[in-house]
Homo-oligomer: A and B are copies of this chain.
């Protein structure tokens, strides 16, 4: 396919990794430094920084450096984008199921898998 990477690609890709979800969970409770983010994670600081880069590129996280400490915080917008996409799909199939249910209620005879 080789499209330009859409926001949703990056968002869902970022959320697909359990380490990154742990980081997002931590940040949704409040800002944290890179080291704080790394503390519960069983991997090198380098690896954490790389995950952080993925989160920043996806727009899920912003960060700024003051002195020698980089403070990270979530940027709610990207998360909302993903949530919205899912909600739209749900709306779509819920509408369809409603129509189907209504049809079946109005046409109670000859069910498709009719016995005997």
Name A's B-contacting residues (CB within 8 A).
Answer: 1, 3, 6, 8-9, 12-13, 15-19, 21, 24-25, 28-30, 42-43, 74, 76, 79-80, 82-83, 85-87, 89-90, 92-93, 96
**A28 near B79: Cβ-Cβ < 8 Å:** no
Rounded to whole angstroms, the CA-CA distance of A89 and B96 in the bound complex is 29
Q: Is the CB of A93 within 8 A of B28?
A: yes
Cα–Cα distance between A89 and B23 once the two chains are bound (Å): 11
Let me know if B21 and A8 touch, CB within 8 A.
yes
A76-B90, A90-B76 given as contacts; is B9 within 8 A of A96 (CB)?
no
Known contacts: A86-B83, A86-B86, A93-B76. The answer to whether A6 contacts B18 by CB under 8 A is: yes
Q: List 22 A-B contacts (CB under 8 A).
A: A1-B18, A1-B42, A6-B18, A8-B15, A9-B17, A9-B18, A12-B13, A12-B15, A13-B16, A15-B82, A21-B85, A25-B89, A28-B92, A29-B96, A74-B89, A76-B90, A79-B86, A82-B82, A82-B86, A83-B83, A83-B87, A86-B86
